[in-house]
Structure 1
Amino acid sequence: MKILIADDHDLVRDTLAAFLSLEPNLDVSAVESLPAATARIEAEGPFDLVMLDYGMPGMNGLRGLGEAIGLNGGRPVALMSGVAPRAVAAEALEAGAAGFLPKTIAAASLVHAVRFMLAGEKYAPIQFMTAPEAEPEAHPLADKLSGREREVLGGLCRGLSNKEIARELELQEVTVKLHVKTLCRKLEARNRTQAAMIAKEAELI
């Protein structure tokens, strides 16, 4: 059985790949982004199971999930995340994901989930899907940002260009450029890439 893991965190990606490679009859490949995953699917696929990190470069929310599902020839594609709320998990399953795997999942449960999805079943941990969601604590940086700045920051975190963000938010490109400059100042970031990294680490988006 061929499995493809896509995650931009080296430690998570390598740990998952090494762990699943210990299982009999599992041939595991690993890449660092959605573009790398789609290229690997086109070159070597379809895979018996593709596992995508929700927050990695190129995903653009659930758009990346749909793209991978379309490329993988009807074989299962699952979503992984350490921060996505239950609503995202439910939406992913509704969109055709074979499962949703919180990164807090225990090792034994991970193997069970992978085997379950390889068998053609859908997987989502009952405890995660039914537990009441706690109110998130506001990060100190959040108070510094306006609603519009958060929207622009969301675009940065998804790897969008100023032009793409402007089109999505129906703004002038020069306005987006000004927002990016302000965001870098407020977040004490050297550039847009660092601003996106700070936002992800602080879970602002």
Structure 2
Amino acid sequence: MIRLLIADDHPIVRDGLSGMFAAEPGFEVVGQAGDGAEAVRMAETLRPDVILMDLQMPDMNGLTAITELAERGITSRVLVLTTYDTDGYVVPAIEAGATGYLLKDAPRDDLLRAVQAAAEGKSVLAPSVANTLMNHVRTPPTPDILSPRELEVLQAVAAGNTNREIAAHLFISEATVKTHLLNIYAKLTAPDRASAVAKAFKLGLL
């Protein structure tokens, strides 16, 4: 019996997945979480075999939740189930410890097999996700990937400044700051500010 925790901020999605797995022999849905923080709390208590984790959720996103699970020593396998297959989402999720990565348009049978495989410790990737990872490996980011202005913005972010404070300091508009941040996220394959700063430190940019 595979014990499953479903984490998604949409109740209809959670209920649909829960009903699907509950109707299948060999699966037991032990809980549903509406955000990453709740998923971590429930995983710590319930210790499910597999967590189906959405990435974009309020309060604590899926990527942060995956990292938190690993830091707490929770051994549940995390299978990401999301609508995003760009390397800005895929690479950080895999690096954080996700066992697999599927998209929400996956056929029902594929999802059932993926959860089974994840429970066994096997990696499962949607075809487009596998291609994304291959392309990322073939073209890794280089230390000079950011422009001088993007580095200035990222340094200000790392120092804890808001977009408004960065704009005032650099004498640019908040809209321009946001544009620079979007470019930084894309170049560093990072989904948010914290991930971009962490990736920049890892690459020696900061």
Q: How does 1:29-178 map to 2 (within 5 A)?
A: 29-44=31-46, 46-60=47-61, 62-71=63-72, 73-130=74-131, 168=158, 170-171=160-161, 175=165
Instruction: Note the residue ranges of structure 1 that are not aligned, 5 or more in a row.
Output: 134-147, 152-165, 184-204
Change (3 A) 1:39 1:61: closer
Q: Which secondary structure does the structure 2 equivalent of 1:50 belong to? A: strand
Scaled by the length of structure 2, the TM-score of the pair is 0.60
Post-superposition Cα deviations, 1:67-98, rounded to whole Å, max 9, x if no partner, equal 12334632311222113414422332233211
Q: Which AA in structure 2 matches 1:118?
A: A
Whether contact under 8 Å (1:99, 1:124) holds in the other structure is yes
Instruction: Note the residue ranges of structure 2 that are not aligned, 5 or more in a row.
Output: 136-149, 169-173, 176-191, 193-206
Q: Which secondary structure does the structure 2 equivalent of 1:8 belong to? A: coil
Cα RMSD between the aligned structures? 3.2
Whether contact under 8 Å (1:79, 1:97) holds in the other structure is yes
Q: Which AA in structure 1 matches 2:105?
A: T
Q: Which AA in structure 1 matches 2:43?
A: I
Q: Which AA in structure 1 matches 2:39?
A: A
Give the structure 1 partner of residue 143 of structure 2. Answer: none
Shift of 1:12: 1.1
Scaled by the length of structure 1, the TM-score of the pair is 0.61
Whether contact under 8 Å (1:54, 1:84) holds in the other structure is no
Provide the identity percentage. 26
Give the structure 2 partner of residue 27 of structure 1. Answer: 28
